[in-house]
Chains A and B, each alone.
Chain A
C-alpha cells in the first residue's frame, strides 16, 4: 500500500504494536484476520493522513474511473506473454493506484473473499468486485506497456546484429 519498503516496515511494526495494545477490543464479531487487516488498513490510513496525501474513498473512485478497456488498432490479437514473471507483475502492482492495489492484493494475492474485503476496506461487496476488475484491467495495460517497451528496445539491437 505504501510502495516503499522502509515505510512498510515501520507500518508493520506500528500495526503489530497496535495489535498488542488493542487485542482486548477484539470481540469476535468478525474473523480475527479480518479484524487484524482492518487494523492494518487504519494504521496505513492514519499514516497517509499525517503525510497529507489526498485520499479518495473507494466508492468515489469507483464512480470517477469508469472507463472502457483501451483498444489499440493493430494490436488486437497480441496477448501477454504466457509467462508473466513475478518481478514484472510485482512492478506493475506497484503502479496501481492505492485503492486498486489494496483490493487486488487482498483478493488475488492473499485470497480474501469480497465480503471480507468489504469489511476490511469499509466498502460494499459490489464495489470490491468492480475495483478488482479494474485493477486487473489496469495491470494488463501496464504489463502490455512494459512488454512493448522491451520489444522496442530489442528491435534496434536485433537490427544492429544483422
Chain B
C-alpha cells in the first residue's frame, strides 16, 4: 500500500512534468489555464515560470551593440581598394589626378605652389601690359592679412566679405586694364571661382570634410591675393 504523502508527491511530480512540457508554448503566448493552475499550487513551478518570464521581459533591454567607427572605416577602405565603391571625385583630384594620393596628404605645399603659379603669371605679364588710369584707388586693400592655415567657418565668412570688397574695387578698375591682361586675370578668377564653388558644394554635402574646408580657404586666399595684386598694379 502506498503512503498518502508519497502518492501526493507522485501526483505533483507528474503535474510538474506536464507543466514543464507545456511551459515553452505557454511562454510563446499559447493560452494554457492548466499550466497556470499548476503554477499556483507548486512553489518550484511558480518560481520557474516567474523567472523565465522575467528573462523574456528583460532581454530586449539588452539591445544591440554598435560596432566602433574603425570597423566602418576599414570596410570603406577595403571596398574602395577593391573598386566596389568609389570615392566621390573631388575637385583637387580632377585638378591634379597625377598627385591625388601623395599631395592630398600634404595640401599646404600643393596649395602654395598653385598660388605661386597664379601669381607668377600675373606678375610677369602685368608690368608691360598694365595701363595706368585715373580710376579711384581701392582703399579696401590695406591691411588684408591672409593665412593658408585651417580656418574656422567664421574666418571663412570674414574672408568671403573681404573678397567681395576687393572684387567690387577690381570691377570698378578693370576697364583700365589692357585687354589681354584683363583676360589673363579673368581666366584666373574664373578658375578660382570654379574651385570655390566645388569646395563649397563639398562642404555643403560633407560639413565635416576638413580637406574641403582647407582647400576652400586656400582658394579664397588665392583669389584675394590675385585681386589685391591686380589693384596694386592698377595703382602704380
Contacts and interface: CB of A to CB of B under 8 A. Distances in A.
A129 B58 contact: no
Interface stretch (B2-10, B23-31, B196-204): B23-31
A84 B64 contact: no
Interface in A96-119: 104, 108-111
Interface string A110-146: 1100000000000000000110110011011001100
A77 B195 CA distance: 76
B89 interface: no
B47 A108 contact: no
B210 interface: no
Contact of A109 (B24, B52, B60, B72): B60
B135 interface: no
Mostly, the A contact residues are: helix
A160 interface: no
A21 B75 CA distance: 11
B102 interface: no
Contacts, number: 90
Mostly, the B contact residues are: helix
B98 to A, nearest CB: 29
Interface residues of B, number: 37
B24 A140 contact: no
Given A68-B17, A79-B50, A90-B62, A136 B84 contact: no
B51 A9 contact: no
B78 interface: yes
B54 A133 contact: no
Contact of B43 (A17, A69, A76, A110): A76
User: Chain A contact residues (Cβ within 8 angstroms of B): what range?
Assistant: 35 or more
Contacts of A104: 59
B62 A89 contact: yes
A154 to B, nearest CB: 21
B62 A109 contact: yes
B74 A84 contact: no
Contacts of A111: 60
Interface of A: 8-9, 12-13, 16-17, 20-21, 68-69, 71, 76-80, 82, 84, 86, 89-90, 93, 104, 108-111, 129-130, 132-133, 136-137, 139-140, 143-144
Interface of B: 17, 20, 23-25, 27-28, 43-44, 46-48, 50-52, 54-56, 58-64, 67-68, 70-72, 74-75, 78-79, 82, 84-85
Given A77-B43, A109-B60, A140-B51, 7 more contacts: A9-B67, A12-B71, A17-B75, A80-B51, A90-B62, A108-B59, A140-B48
